[in-house]
Amino acid sequence: MTRRSKKKQEQEYYTLSPILKEKAHYNIIIGERSNGKTYSVLQKALQDYANNGYQTALLRRMQEDFIGKRGAGLFEPLINNNEVERLTGGAWTSVYYYASRWFLCRYEEDKKGNMERVTDNQPFMYGFALSQMEHEKGTGYPNVKNIIFDEFITRMAYLRDEFVLFMNTLSTIIRSRDDVTIFMLGNTVNKYCPYFDEMGLRHIKDMKQGEIDVYQLKHSSGKVLKVAVEYCKPFEKGKKSDFYFAFDNQKLEMITNGVWEIDIYPHCPYRYRPKNILFTYFIEFDRQMLQCEIVQVDDVCFTFIHRKTTPLKHPETDLVFTTRYDARPNYRRKLTKPRLDIERKIVEFYATDKIFYQDNEVGEIIRNYLLWCNK
């Protein structure tokens, strides 16, 4: 892996230029909301179609993400900035949306003085919902050269086997070609994203804003797959809208500065000794092991969760919850589906909010593990 730092961002919005210089097959762009990530990639989609007739595929998680203004209004910022007219040399001035397809269009006055829409004979962009992709396998898209996965990071639950769904979607669109460029756009809402682990992007959590990491993965054919990851640098002057979020609230830094969003979780208000620990179990998630201690101090009973920094002392008998498949009888996958009495008692602490965390990062790990459990 190689790492490059970008120069200071003096322009008001994000530009694709630095990451495009890497000539990567996958371009993963992570940063604050409304910094221009989506605008820049949609602008490229328009430009590639206007110049070469190349089409684009837009991926989103759910079909609802294409309904109403979420689909029809996607290109409004570019239309309002006259980008459609500029990029097409005046041939087209707007975008028409219909049935998860986007068409270039213009409006002309007919003989009666009414404005009539004239639409291009083919779409320049198609929309695909990962949740609906089993219906798309028979269709070919030979002119699609760009694939955009917008908002691939979420604080909500991911789809079951979502990464496999994503790969199947790419396979449906790309088929046997090797001339497609993929863009994955994400806001910094959750650093525990399954795509990072599935794609082997081990250093994302350690990246500094303004850096671009490049991973090179050798395929069995001898070809090298190149993945570029950019953690967008906040703009020196900030956005004009930043003053609306001037409240003393740590969570708002994701909106204004692009730092990773993290909730505030309860820390342990009690001091206790090893003799106060009634039972210990472990949760393994995102390559991290957490130690969970059921504690009684006087008449108060709660669970305290902290990082496990040493190997398990009794790996054959300790109760471990993990997302991995493990045949050992003391290993479980989903904490929310208890089978034994002790497991039901464990779940009760979560149901009654009697859980305390070493720090907010540990709280985030548990939150994401429980989201995974409830899929």
Span 143-193, pLDDT tens digits:
999 999 999 999 999 999 999 999 999 999 999 999 999 999 999 999 999
User: Would you give the distance in Å from CA 345 to the centre of its chain?
Assistant: 34
**pLDDT band at residue 72 using 50, 70 and 90 as cut-offs:** very high
Alpha-carbon distance values, 86 to 42, 51, 89, 146, 374 (Å)? 14, 12, 5, 21, 48
* Domain residue spans of the chain: 2-257, 274-373
How many residues are recorded in the chain? 375
Show the CA angle centred on residue 326, arms to residues 325 and 329, nearest 5°: 135
pLDDT at residue number 4: 74
pLDDT at residue number 9: 47
Q: Which residue has the higher pLDDT, 289 or 5?
A: 289
Is residue 250 over pLDDT 80?
no
pLDDT at residue number 56: 98
d(CA 143, CA 42): 16
Show the CA angle centred on residue 146, arms to residues 68 and 210, nearest 5°: 95
Mean pLDDT of the 70-77 span: 96
19's enclosing H/E stretch is: helix 17-20
d(CA 290, CA 310): 10
Tokens of 367: 């939150």
Mean pLDDT of the 322-333 span: 96
d(CA 186, CA 261): 12
pTM, two decimals, is 0.82
**pLDDT band at residue 266 using 50, 70 and 90 as cut-offs:** very high
CATH says 2-257 is which class?
Answer: alpha beta
**pLDDT band at residue 82 using 50, 70 and 90 as cut-offs:** very high
Q: How many CB atoms lie within 10 A of CB 69?
A: 9
Mean per-residue pLDDT over the chain, rounded: 91
Mean pLDDT of the 124-138 span: 85
Is residue 278 over pLDDT 80?
yes
Q: What is the pLDDT of residues 285-324, one digit of tens each?
A: 999 999 999 999 999 999 999 999 999 999 999 999 999 9
Mean pLDDT of the 190-216 span: 94
d(CA 265, CA 148): 34
pLDDT at residue number 104: 98
Is residue 333 over pLDDT 80?
yes
Mean pLDDT of the 25-54 span: 96
